[in-house]
Amino acid sequence: MQARMPGCYRWIVRTSPIRHMRQMSDMRTTIDGVRPMAKRYRAAVRAMNVTLERSRTALLAEIGEWRRALATVNDTGLLEPSGCPGWARLEVVVHVRAGLQELLACFTAGTALAPDRDAATYWLEFAPGGGGGTVEGTMWLRRTSSAYARPSGAVRHLADVLDQTEHALGGLQDATVRFQGHVLSTGDLIATWAVELHLHRLDLLVPYAEASDAAMLARETIEVLADGSAPAANLVAAERFLLIGSGRVEPTADERQALGGIAARLPVFG
What is the gyration radius of the CA atoms in the chain, in angstroms?
18
Give CA torsion, residues 122, 184, 42, 133, to 10 deg: -40
Task: Give 191's contacts (C-beta < 8 A, 6+ positions apart).
Answer: 48, 50, 54, 55, 58, 119, 217, 221
Global pTM reads 0.85
Domain spanning 7-19+45-210: CATH 1.10.10.10: no
Write down the domain spans for the chain: 7-19+45-210
Task: Give 31's contacts (C-beta < 8 A, 6+ positions apart).
Answer: none
Query: From residue 142, how far is each of 5, 146, 206, 217, 251 by CA, in Å?
Result: 17, 6, 22, 30, 29
Q: Are 11 and 132 in contact (CB under 8 A)?
A: no
Per-residue pLDDT of the chain (270 residues; tens, 9 = 90+): 333 444 465 545 444 433 332 333 333 233 344 444 433 334 578 899 999 999 999 999 999 999 999 999 999 999 999 998 889 999 999 999 999 999 999 998 899 999 999 999 999 988 775 544 578 888 999 999 999 999 999 999 999 999 999 999 999 999 999 999 999 999 999 999 999 999 999 999 987 766 799 999 999 999 999 987 766 545 688 889 999 999 999 999 999 988 888 899 999 986
CB atoms within 10 A of CB 118: 22
The conformation of residue 115, written as its DSSP 8-state character, comes to P
Could you tell me how far CA 257 lies from the centroid of its own chain?
27
